[in-house]
Structure 1
Amino acid sequence: MERRPLIPAVGLGVVGGVLLTASYEPVALPWLLPLGVACYALATRGHGVRRAGLVGLVFGVVFYFSHIVWMKDSVGPDAWVALSTVEALFYGLLGLAVPLLRRLPAWPLWLAAAWTTMETVRSGWPFSGMPWGRIAFAAIDTPAAPAVAYVGMTGLSFLLALSGFCLARFAEAVLARERRRGSAAAAVGVLAVLVTPAVLPYDVPETGSTTVAVVQGDVPGPGNDILWDHLGVTRNHVDATVRLAADVDAGRVPRPDFVLWPENSTAVDPFEPGEVNTGIREAVAAVQVPVMVGAIVDGGPKYVLNQGIVWDPRTGPGDRYTKHHPVPYGEYIPFRDIWNPTFGQLALITRDMKSGTRTEPLRVAGVRVSDAICFDVAYDDVMPPQVRAGAELLTVQTSNASFIFTHQIEQQFAITRLRAIEAGRWLTVASTNGQSGVIAPDGSVVASAKPRTTSVLVERVGLSTALTPAMRLGAWPARMFTLLTLAALVAGAVTYRRRRQFDGPAQETPAAEPTELSPTPSEAPVV
């Protein structure tokens, strides 16, 4: 096999990483996504396992370090470098598999399955992983977005990856002056599958409606530190809810059926007597409907819980949802029994945040509500199981104050909008100081609040009980692509090894030594 130069391949990997980053917010040019994925395939082409892994790693470093650059200033450069490095390694591991998968017929199909499997694994491992950067998340506001209702986030990632790899195969055919009809037809076919749902969207019938008030209370002080004045944060949400009650009584706005507060609207245990508990009771008594409070709850001497609590004006606190995916080294310390850091920002994490396990929807004012807290919205094991269990409406409680001066809030809002399309449900999202909004089942934003303002959004939203195909499929697409990837790797490894044994520099055939001539009759011995 002819070995391609490494430096141009590395340069192409850098270009691909930049293009993929530009597909997401804040640049948000999603048409660059297939080009970025195609660059990955072209950069790793023609290399052995180790070189392809190196090129894939370079692509991953460029993409992931730039994609979550918001973490550098909001959380810290050490966390940004550590997380980006871990996530970039997965693109290097995928690169190791490229020479094996390219040996197979229809390699774009197998490589797309492997890309999708890589995203699935890194989104859940290690320490619950990091889903940010799944290529499906860049599809909002494109003709491909409605496809997520049919195939889910995993299936959409596969189709987008396949479109990029088919584009790469077409480019290779052009460069090699091969017949292009087959590769062009494959690329066009994948694009047709992607955009057909835009013409034939999956509509989920509504079975009723309810009115929700979304409260964004704002964060005092610099705006990016929820603990700078945590009592002020709670007071802002109480006051906004009391003003809402006055507007309802005056007939200026319709009475909501329930009120949604964001994550960290109370940063201390609201069940303990004190100012926070009193404030919540004041707000609930004024508005006279249930309030979904976002609270940090005491879980004993070693633990805390990040919860959404349904606080009823008559019965008090009731149903609770606990955040499923606390952030490692941000909300808990993995393996604290072995390593208990007491330096830098890590010293502030004195108690670990426990993970929740609830998959049943909350009951709020007679409505079954699916809840997710902050980063939970990016995980496939949080909202979809609640929808399959009967959730009629989606809610997200988030506290993006730490990221308020970055583009993280825009990236998360894009993911949130895709969740609404995937589930075929209305979705309401409350943030402490941005970005709050009400989202329709087609992903359109019906109402939104400006960041760093105190706002109350009162909207009538539809309720649904039917399931989209994506909700019915559940985790099966991820399982299917994982099995396909494993089978392709085995087949590719066998083929790769066989060809390595026979492919190689041609050996010159040594010239045959002249055969000895038989004795002529004159030289024959005389008998």
Structure 2
Amino acid sequence: MSSTVTDPDPEAAPRKRFSRAWLLRFLVAAASGFTLYLSFAPRPLWWLAPLAFTGFALVVHGRRFRGAFGYAFVFGMGFFLPLLTWLLDFLGPDFGPWPWIALSMALSVYLGFGGAFATVVWRLPLGPLWAALVIIALETPRAWFPFGGFPWGRVAFSQPEGAFVSLASIGGAPLVGLAVVLTGFGLAALCLRLRGADPRRSLIATSALTLVPVVAGLAVWPTIGTEAQDGELTVATVQGNAPDIGLALEGRRDELRSNHLTESARLLEKLKASNTKVDLLVWPETAMAMRTGDAGVDQMVRDYGTQAIIGALVRLPDGTAQNSALVWDPATGPGQRYAKQQLVPFGEYVPAREVAKLVTPFVDSVANMTPGDGANAALSVAGTKVGVFICYETAFDYPARESVADGAELLVVPTNNAWYGPGEMSYQQLAMSRLRAVEHGRAVIVSATSGVSAIVAPDGSIKASTSLFTADSLVGRVPLRQQTTLSDLLGVTTEYGLLALAIAGVTGGYVLRFRTRRASAAKATREAAG
């Protein structure tokens, strides 16, 4: 009996290889995004962030625009879905997972376009640098849209410590992010060069693109000043604690006030026992609600005999509320105040309210707060100027920058993270405050309702901190500093300069692509004619 040997279908093998290659790229993209998530607090794994972007670049390299967009979008979902799981604690089971998934998808679109445009600029000289500029440039519109912007998860926020964070003193979060992505893309270019997949790249140039950001970050570290320049303050921050009930916390403001009065009294007894006098007392965001005054808080401040910054929900004459930080004097009571400018969408105001009603009936229970106008960015208190930016504002560059420009020698961040459960949100926000400390060369006091409260040195190191959902207090001596960093002097110029360079790079990439195609077409025509 004989058998006939037939050749395999010539189309079958390529299709199978294609399927396996697609699946491999998909898995690497998702794993790389998850690796970026692992680089964020509370894990001190900052060095994973460049490696995540190495995987990102290897996956999108050589892909067409649409394919690169898809893989980069998968990278984004692998990153944002685990990063933002605290939204599930905030919204509770009534909303389901859809807001969390929808927001993750919206933010992943930016990374999708980043991957797509990265393929356009990669063929330029110093292509990895142009590609890194594209990724960081797309973080700028993400701070504008959707819903007034959501910059959570910026690359720089993965770097509260390590080799790159010192660069915040030169160019803020944009420069730190660029250094991280460039290191990862440079390493990817080196891998491609060594395996012969990108022979046009110089081995020396690709090695330099990998090493220069790290070397630059390490070289800048000795310039980070931490010494006092205008004396020191002994600061106490009170964490009264709150129940872990998500959105239901809205109706428990009296409980928050009571908890903070209790913890303040306990701390005062400890201070008296140790014969310690504080210069400034800090309460966290919306630790009380106030219309015309508060006898209990007034008495507490008089007992301390020192000025305080009190986080309060202040009712305005028109009936609306402002999320504020008030200077409370033991003799004259509440005075100067700063009102939060960057409100939390769907938490402090509802964008597109009529559309949102189609999705959830809970919209009617959320009243729009009135945003602040930026006045009193630096409060005159305790014989100095203290810059205040509240909770969500930590993710945006301008509030801290405005306070330092207004003369702040110390930064205070009142925050209420009790809404977001026992997950990683509070640690992620603390990492942002640590970056701000280095960016502006100021000590930072993070005062949280339920944790994590912290005293942060001007080099971003944590001097003391609390745990989540515990009643606790911190007391520490902090330096007052007046020196202006280069990042402060450059201001928004760094961010918009990088954005302009990225646009120029994409334009140049398309010009190069057009010329290459036209040259190829002309060559084909000549060969056909010859």
> TM-score by structure 2 length?
0.88
CA deviation digits over 1:59-115, x for unaligned, max 9? 112211122122123235232122211111101121231232123111111111111
Pair 1:347-2:367 in alignment: no
Distance change (3 Å), C-alpha of 1:245 and 1:278: same
Give yes or no for the alignment of 1:417 onto 2:437.
Answer: no
Letter in 1 for 2:189: R
Pick from 39, 46, 49 the counterpart of residue 30 of structure 1: 46
Change (3 A) 1:153 1:282: same
Following superposition, the deviation at residue 379 of structure 1 comes to 0.8
Judged with a 3 Å threshold, the aligned counterparts in structure 2 of structure 1 residues 223 and 340 are, in CA distance, closer, same or farther, namely closer
**Matches of 2:23 and 2:517, distance apart in 1:** 23
Counterparts of 1:195 and 1:447, CA distance in 2:
25
2:141 maps to which residue? 121
Whether the 8 Å contact between 2:89 and 2:421 is mirrored in structure 1 is no
Could you say which residue in structure 2 is the equivalent of 1:387? 404
Task: State how far apart, in whole Å, the 2-side matches of 1:282 and 1:503 are.
Answer: 82
Partner residue of 1:481 out of 498, 501, 512? 498
Whether 2:335 is the aligned partner of 1:313: answer no
Matched with 1:523 is none
What residue number does 2:274 align with?
Answer: 252
Q: How does 1:506-521 map to 2 (within 5 A)?
A: none
Aligned equivalent of 2:470, options 432, 441, 453 = 453
1:208 aligned partner: 231
Asked if the contact 2:246/2:418 (under 8 Å) is kept, the reply is yes
1:219 aligns with 2:233: no
The number of residues matched between the two structures is 504
How many angstroms apart in 1 are the aligned matches of 2:504 and 2:82?
33
- The residue identity in structure 2 corresponding to 1:94 is G
The 2-side partners of 1:115 and 1:203 are apart by 32
Counterpart residue number, 2:444: 427
The reply on whether 1:263 has 2:263 as its aligned counterpart is no
User: In structure 1, what is the equivalent of residue 102 of structure 2?
Assistant: 82
Partners in 2 of 1:339 and 1:216 — Cα distance?
34
Looking at structure 2, the residues matched to 443 and 180 of structure 1 have their Cα atoms a distance apart, in angstroms, of: 35
- 1:100 counterpart = 2:116: no
Which residue number in structure 2 is paired with residue 401 of structure 1? Answer: 418
Pick from 140, 149, 159 the counterpart of residue 160 of structure 2. Answer: 140
Relative to structure 1, is the Cα distance of residues 26 and 313 closer, same or farther in structure 2, using a 3 angstrom cutoff?
closer
| Structure with greater helix percent | 2
Check 1:302–1:494 CA distance in 2 against 1; reply closer, same or farther (3 A cut): farther
Q: CA deviation at 1:306?
A: 0.6
- 1:136-285 alignment to 2 at 5 Å? 136-176=156-196, 178=199, 180-203=203-226, 205-220=228-243, 225-227=248-250, 229-248=252-271, 250-266=272-288, 268=289, 270-272=290-292, 277-285=294-302
Give 1:327 shift.
1.2
Q: What is the CA deviation profile of residues 242-276 of structure 1, one whole-angstrom value per residue up to 9, with x for unaligned ones?
A: 3344444x35241112210001201x3x1246xxx
Counterparts of 1:99 and 1:140, CA distance in 2: 30
Task: Tell me the SS of whatever aligns to 1:405.
Answer: coil
Q: Is the 8 A contact 2:379 2:386 kept in 1?
A: yes
State the AA in 2 paired with 1:184: S
Listed as ranges, the gaps of 5+ residues in structure 1 are 513-527
Q: Distance in 2 between matches of 1:511 and 1:494?
A: 27
Give the secondary structure class of the aligned counterpart of 1:226.
Answer: helix
Does residue 19 of the first structure (1) align with residue 38 of the second (2)?
Answer: no
Q: Deviations over 1:212-240 (max 9, x none)?
A: 11011111475885336321210121222
Q: 1:22 to 1:245 in 2, by over 3 A?
A: closer
TM-aligned CA distance change 1:243 to 1:41, over 3 Å? same
1:388-418 CA distance string (max 9 Å, x none)? 2210100010001012311111111111112
Contact residue 154 and residue 477 of structure 1 kept, 8 A: yes
CA contact (8 A) 2:314 2:321 kept: yes
Contact 1:65 1:84 in 2 (8 A): yes
Partner Cα separation in structure 2 for residue 203 and residue 438 of structure 1: 13
Q: Aligned partners of 2:358 and 2:225: how far apart in 1?
A: 50
Distance 2:401 2:499 in 1: 20
C-alpha separation between the residues in 2 aligned to 1:421 and 1:24? Answer: 17
Find the aligned partners of 1:184 and 1:319 in 2 and give their Cα distance: 54
Does the 8 Å CA contact 1:224/1:405 hold for their aligned counterparts? no
Note the alpha carbon deviations across 1:110-143, whole angstroms, 9 max, x for none. Answer: 1111111111221232333112111111112313
Q: Does structure 2 retain, via aligned residues, the 8 Å contact 1:341–1:347?
A: no
Given that residues 80 and 153 in structure 2 are in contact (C-alpha distance below 8 angstroms), is that contact kept between their aligned partners in structure 1?
yes
The aligned amino acid for 2:88 is K
Instruction: Name the aligned partner's letter for residue 240 of structure 1.
Output: E
> Aligned partners of 1:155, 1:324: CA distance in 2, in Å?
25
Q: 1:182, CA displacement in angstroms?
A: 2.9
> Does 2:460 correspond to 1:439?
no
Return closer, same or farther for 1:511/1:258 CA change in 2, 3 Å cut-off: closer
Computing the radius of gyration over CA atoms, which structure comes out larger, 1 or 2? Answer: 1
d(CA) in 2 for partners of 1:72, 1:356: 31
| SS class of match (1:434) | coil
Contact kept, 8 Å, 2:234 with 2:477, in 1: the verdict is yes
Tell which deviates more after alignment, 286-295 or 379-388: 286-295
Which stretch has the larger CA shift, 482-491 or 91-100? 91-100
Q: Distance in 2 between matches of 1:13 and 1:221?
A: 35
Rounded to whole Å, the distance in 2 between the matches of 1:441 and 1:480 is: 26
- 2:53 equivalent to 1:53: no
Moved more, 293-302 or 83-92: 293-302
Query: Would you say the 8 A contact 1:333–1:352 is kept in 2?
Result: no
CA shift, 1:490, in A, is: 1.3
Q: Does 1:62 align with 2:82?
A: no
